Amino acid sequence: MIEVLAPLPVLLPLLGAAGALLVARHPTFQRTLSTVVLTAVLAVSVVLLLVADAEGAGAVSVGGWPVPLGVVLVVDRLSALMLVVASTVALGVLVFAVGQGAADGSEETPLSIFHPTFLVLVAGVSNAFLAGDLFNLYVGFEILLMASYVLLTLGGTAARIRGGITYIIVSLTSSLLFLAAIGLVYAATGTVNMAQLAVRLGELPEGTQVLLQSMLLVAFGIKAAVFPLSAWLPDSYPTAPAPVTAVFAGLLTKVGVYALIRTQTLLFPGGALDDVLLWAALATMVVGILGAVAQSDLRRMLSFTLVSHIGYMVFGIALGTAAGLAGAIFYVAHHIAIQTTLFLVAGLVERQGGTTAVDRLGGLARRSPLLAVLFFVPAMNLAGIPPLSGFIGKLGLLEAGVAHGGAAAYTLVAGGVVTSLLTLLAVGRVWTRAFWRSPNQAPVEDTAAAAAAAATERRRPADEGVPSDDAASDDAPPRTALQDAWRRHTAVATATEAQMPPAAGAVRALRPLPRTMVGATAALMALTVALTGLAGPLYGLADRAATDLFDRTPYVSSVFGEEAP
């Protein structure tokens, strides 16, 4: 079963990409093709997950070469779970992108480039998850990175080139470090097969082990955006087209986290560097979320929360307990879904409001209640408000932290709580300013926001500040707070409604939200909400996966059969 299915999540997208290239001249065909392919990938991944959960890990030796000569693909609970989540959001994003392309023509995202590249990206992600071979993991990373370079610089606008350069050069550096680390590992052990490494690395002198481990940690730390290796992320992600940013934010850093998990559990189970990771996690959480609080642009704010919440996952990994790891795994799954959704929503906000600069937006809750719901629920989820999945992940990590005990762990717990609160503060602000506050209430003196708006405004020229008398009349508050709530709620409301439309018109033209885009976003939001109900089985799965990772025999014996070398 696994033998046949395991390669498909990589092969199908590649064939799809080939097809998309051959029919580059027929967009409709391209669309259907990639949609079908990704749906198939999703189906395959689900089956793989079910099989892996039922029968335990399984491995394929590509080309039928006796292990460990060739490259092996390993499907265990963790990788299968990652595959499922990844292919789900990939599909959602694809639909969104198709919707956007249909709406904008190929201005924002030239489809003939987008489709093949996106498919290869998915192939790369799947390959990274399936790789049972360190060098193949590198190849997987390179594929998805190369694809991401292209997607990030789509259309080649100045902002994207700038952001793209930062992203590309940093990623290249991390890849070089990774490749060098592989060289070192091979030099020391004479193999790149991870199952075999799990055995051979243990035989090395301890100092060398830690050295190799630290090399890999740094390399993956960059990809996963762990502070202080994280500064590149908020500069590069927000510039890309909405669907691209969404899939980046959701998936790419998580591949790094996945690699971290593998390194820490399979290759270097000693937990030699757990303390380092703990403090890195704390710094990532706090610095990241402070960054989010400081931002005045929705996309950048989200990018910073992304960094900050990577800290949660690293926290779980660094605890070095099965409970912590389970929390981390669940959080990864949750975070992939939620970040993707939120960035897609940001895309919708940009269409609706013409910008993602929070201080330029306003009144969205009244103008598009649907959009308000689409934002509010995931935002609360991100902030870890129960009963949504964000809370469950956080709860798991906190429980693990408390159970672990010790000064460091308690500090991390405190840090995690503070981070969660500040996240709420950050998203709450977006809500109060962009969705509640009437547009013209945006503070004029906040040059940062205004400039940011100008920077992020791509679709239409920046709109001038609205005359202040308008502001007064729109906000028309009763002169003293002692005045009556009832009239405030009727008379003023209606009065405002009366001259809201012209005001809104003056601020920016309303763009209807294409149904496909809204549909895709809503579907993903529904998924994130559904995670609450599915939390029981899902967390159980995460827990089993974590247990497997800790006693490493399931992985090793899946590759070598019962008699592990």
Partner 1 sequence: MLVLLLLHLFAGLLAPALVRWWGRQAFLALALVPAAGFGWVVTRLGPVLAGEEQRETVPWIPVLDLAVALRLDALALAFAALVTGVGALVLVYCARYFSPGEEGTGRFAGCLTAFAGSMLGLVLADDMLLLYVFWELTTVFSFLLIGGSGRRLAARRAASQALILTTAGGLAMLVGLILIGQASGSYLLSEVVADPGSGTAMTVGAALVLAGAVTKSALVPFHFWLPAAMEAPTPVSAYLHAAAMVKAGVYLVARLAPGLADVPGWRPVVLGLGVATMLVGGYRALRQKDLKLLLAFGTVSQLGFLVTLVGAGSAELAAAGLTMTLAHGLFKSTLFLTVGVVDHATGTRDLRRLSGLGRRLPVLAVIGTAAAASMAGLPPLLGFVGKEAAFTALLDGGLPDRTVAVVVLVGLVAGSVLTAAYTARFLWGAFARKPGIPDTAVEHPPEALFLAAPAVLALTGLVLGPASPLLDPLVAAYAETLPLYAPEAEHLALWHGWQPALALSALTVLGGAALFAVRGPVQRLQGRVAVGASADEGYWNVVQGVDRLSVLVTGTTQRGSLPAYLGTILVVVLALPGTLLLTRAPWPGEWRAWDTPVQAVVGVVVVTAAALTLRIRQRLSAVLVVGVTGYGIAVVFALQGAPDLALTQFLVETLTLVVFVLVLRKLPKDISERHKPRERAVRGVIAVSVGAFMGAVGAVALAVRTATPVSADWPGPAYAFGGGKNIVNVTLVDIRAWDTIGEVSLLVVAATGVASLVFLRGRTGGVDRVTRADLARSSEGSRRAPRDRWLAATATLDPARRSVVLEVITRLLFHTIMVFSLYLLFSGHNEPGGGFAGGLVAGLALVLRYLAGGRYELGEAAPVAPGLLLGSGLLFAGVTGVAGLLLGGGVLQTAIVETTLPVLGSVKLVTSLFFDCGVYLIVVGLVLDVLRSLGAELDRQEDQEDPIELSPGEVVLR
Partner 2 sequence: MTPTIVLPVMIGGLYAAGVYLLLDRSLTRVLLGFLLLGNATNLLLLSAGGPSGLAPILGYSDADEINDPLPQALVLTAIVITFGISAFLLAIIHRSWRLARNEVVGTDEEDRRVAARRATDADELDPDDLAPEDRAAMHADSLPADLEELADDVDLPAGQGAP
135 binds partner 2 (CB under 8 A): yes
Number of amino acids touching partner 1 (CB under 8 A): 155
**Residues near partner 2 (CB under 8 A), total:** 56
What minimum distance in Å lies between the beta carbon of 463 and partner 1? 20
Chain centroid to CA 319: how far?
22
* 502 binds partner 1, rule: CB under 8 A: no
Question: Strand locations in 126-270, DSSP E?
Answer: none
Q: Residue 294, Cβ neighbours under 10 Å: how many?
A: 12
290 counts as binding partner 2 under rule CB under 8 A: no
Amino acid at 155: G
Indicate the length of the chain as a whole number. 565
**By the rule CB under 8 A, 285 interacts with partner 1:** no
Q: Which residues pair with 183 in a beta bridge?
A: none
List the one residue from 76, 359, 474, 548 that touches partner 2 (CB under 8 A).
359
Cα radius of gyration (the chain) = 24
Does the footprint of partner 2 cover residue 211 (CB under 8 A)?
no
- Asked whether position 429 contacts partner 2 by CB under 8 A, the answer is yes
Other beta carbons less than 10 A from residue 139's beta carbon:
15
Task: Report how far residue 69's alpha carbon sits from residue 181's, in angstroms, rounded to the nearest whole number.
Answer: 20
What distances in angstroms separate CA 324 from CA 255, 395, 396, 547, one per listed residue? 18, 11, 7, 11
Cα separation of 565 and 558, whole Å? Answer: 12
Tokens 């993903």 map to which residue? 524
**Residues with Cβ < 8 Å from 16, sequence gap 6 or more?**
33, 34, 36, 37, 38, 116, 119
User: Which residue's CB is nearer to partner 2, number 157 or number 208?
Assistant: 157
Is residue 506 close enough to count as binding partner 1 by CB under 8 A?
no
- Residue 126 C-beta: closest distance to partner 1, Å: 11
Phi and psi at 142, nearest 5°, equal -60, -40
Contact status: 458 vs partner 1 (CB under 8 A): no
Binding mask 136-155 for partner 1 (x = CB under 8 A): x--xx-xx--xx-xx--xxx
Is 162 among the residues that bind partner 2 (CB under 8 A)?
yes
Instruction: State in Å, rounded, how far the first CA of the chain is from the last one.
Output: 25
Nearer to partner 1, 57 or 409 (CB): 409
| All residues at 6 or more sequence positions from 124 whose CB lies less than 8 Å from its CB, including other chains | 140, 141, 142, 143, 144, 145, 146, 147
Return phi, psi of residue 297, to 5°: -120, 135
Q: 108 forms bridges with which residues in the sheet?
A: none
Contact letters (x/-) for partner 2, 87-126, by CB under 8 A? Answer: ----------------------------------------
Q: Closest CB to partner 2 among 165 and 506?
A: 165
Contacts of partner 1 in 192-251 (CB under 8 A): 193, 196, 200, 203-208, 210-212, 214-215, 217-218, 221-222, 227-229, 231-232, 234-235
Which residue lies nearer to partner 2 by CB, 145 or 323? 145
Site string for partner 1, 362-401 (x = CB under 8 A): ---xx--x----------x----xxx---xx--xx-xx--
468 belongs to the binding site for partner 2 (CB under 8 A): no
* 108 contributes a contact to partner 1 by CB under 8 A: no
Q: Does 3 bind partner 1 (CB under 8 A)?
A: yes
- Interhelix angle 298-319/389-404, rounded to 10 degrees, is 40
User: Which residues bind to partner 2, rule: CB under 8 A?
Assistant: 135, 139, 142, 146, 149-150, 153, 156-158, 161-166, 168-169, 172-173, 176, 179-180, 182-184, 186-187, 192, 234-235, 294-297, 300, 359, 429, 432-433, 437, 441, 443, 445-448, 451-452, 455, 477-482
